[in-house]
Amino acid sequence: MNVQAQPVADTGVGDEDKALFEEMVRRILEQEVAPDYERWEQAHQLPRELWYRLGEAGLLGVDLPEALGGSAAGVEICLMICEEISRQGFGGLASGYNIHANIVMPYILHLGSEAQQQYWLPRMASGEVLGAIAMTEPGAGSDLAAMRSTAERVDGGWKLNGAKVFITNGQLADMVIVCAKTDPSAGARGVSLFLVDTSLPGFSRGKSIRKIGQHASDTAELFFDDLIVPDDALLGEAGKGFVYLMQELPRERLGVGAQALGAIEGALQLTLDYVQQRRAFGQRIADFQNTRFTLAEVRAQLEMGCAYFNQCLQRYAVGEMSGMDAATLKLMLSEMQCRSIDRCLQLFGGYGYTLEYPISRFYVDARIQTIYAGTSEIMKEVIARDMLGRTA
C-alpha cells in the first residue's frame, strides 16, 4: 500500500498549482529544516534565523495580499504548509508556524486597521517579526473569562499588568497579541486584544517550559509590569476581545486539523515502511492480519478525516464554518491523531519506544493536540451546547 500525499483543500487554487506548491514546500523543509531539526529539539528552541529563511522562501503569509508581503495564494495553501511540516515529523515547528502564519497574521488581517496591517504584516511575512498570541494564564485556561491581566486606560495609551503561561513562540516573539481585561467588571464583555511590541519596557519573559514533546517549539511564560502600549496597539474595538476570539477560532482549529492529518499521514508512511522490513515468526510484520487491519483502519480514518476537513475548509472559504464545525473538527482530528499514532507505534514493538525511531517523536508531539486550542472536553461542551443548550 502506498499512501499518497493528501491535498488538504478543494477550494480556490487549481490542483496543479497546489501540487507544485506542495512539492516546493516539501523541498524547502527537506533542505532548511530536516538536517538540523534533531539539534533544535535538543536545544528546546528553533533558531531565530529559521523564520527569516521561511519568509525568504515565501512560506509566511502565503494567503496575505501581495501589497502586504504575501502571495495571495489562499488559506488552503497556508494549511497545506502546516500539514506538510507535520507530515515530515516536525510537530514543534508546525505549532510555531500555525501560531505565526495561520493565527496571528489572520487576526491582524481581519481585525487590524490599515496602519496596523501595514506596520506588522509585511515584516511578519519576511520573518523579521515573529508573532505569538497570549490568552492562557496560570488561573485561566479553558475558563478564559477568569483571566486577570488588565489593561487600564492612561494618557495616550493603555497600561498592561499581568502574566501569561504556555505561550508558543513566547521566547522569540517580537510581537504578541495579548488578551487583557479593559473592564474587569464586565466579565467576558470586558476583554480586549492588544498588539504588544515585546521590546517595550515592562515586557519580560520567564522560563521556557519543558514539555514531553514538541521540544523544538518554545513555550514560555510572559509578564507585563506597568507596560505602556500606545493607543494604536488596540486591535479592533475595546471590549470585543471575546467576540474576536470566537470569530477566529475556525481558522485556528483548521490549523490544528491540518497538523493532525499531516502527522497521521507521516506516521502511517513510517509504519508502512517498517512493517514490510521487520520479520517475526518467519514472516513480515506486514503479513499478520492484525497489522493489516490496523493499517487499514488508520488509512480509512485518515480518508474520513480529510473529507471532513475539506468540507469545513469549503465552508470557511465562504464564511460559513461555524463554531460547532470547528469544535467537531478539532475534537475528531486531534483524538484520531493520538489514537492512530499510538496504534502505529505499537507495530514497531520496542523500537517504537526508542528515540532512534522517529515514530516516537510523532507520538509525543501528538499528545498536546487534544489539549491546546481548546481541550477535547471543551469541544464536547460546545457541541453539546449546540444540541441541548447551556447547562446551569
Decide if 320 is catalytic: no
| C-alpha–C-alpha distance, residues 25 and 34, integer Å | 12
Provide, rounded to whole angstroms, the least separation between the CB of residue 184 and ligand FAD. 19
In this complex, which beta carbon is closest to ligand FAD, that of residue 138 or of residue 349? Answer: 138
User: 22-26: long-range contacts at Cβ-Cβ below 8 A with a sequence spacing of 24 or more?
Assistant: 22/80, 22/84, 25/59, 25/80, 25/81, 25/84, 26/84, 26/88
In this complex, which beta carbon is closest to ligand FAD, that of residue 114 or of residue 207? Answer: 207
| CA separation, residue 24 to residues 10, 16, 77, 188 (Å) | 19, 12, 12, 43
The three cell numbers of residue 103 are 493565527
Binding site for ligand FAD (CB under 6 A): 99, 133-136, 141-143, 166-168, 211, 214, 219, 368, 371-372, 375, 377-378, 381
Q: Which of 76, 198, 73 is nearest to 130 (CA)?
A: 198
Provide, rounded to whole angstroms, the least separation between the CB of residue 236 and ligand FAD. 17
Provide, rounded to whole angstroms, the least separation between the CB of residue 164 and ligand FAD. 7
Q: Which of 230, 234, 263 is nearest to 344 (CA)?
A: 263
| CA separation, residue 140 to residues 145, 147, 165, 224 (Å) | 7, 5, 9, 16
- Which of 49, 252, 297, 335 is labelled catalytic? 252
Position with the least CB separation from ligand FAD = 141
Provide, rounded to whole angstroms, the least separation between the CB of residue 274 and ligand FAD. 28
In this complex, which beta carbon is closest to ligand FAD, that of residue 88 or of residue 168? Answer: 168
Provide, rounded to whole angstroms, the least separation between the CB of residue 102 and ligand FAD. 12
- Measured at the CA of 105, the angle between CA 101 and CA 106, to 5 degrees, comes to 105
In this complex, which beta carbon is closest to ligand FAD, that of residue 312 or of residue 368? Answer: 368
Q: Which residues are CB-contacts of 329 (< 8 A; sequence separation ≥ 6)?
A: 253, 254, 257, 308, 309, 312
List the catalytic residues: 252
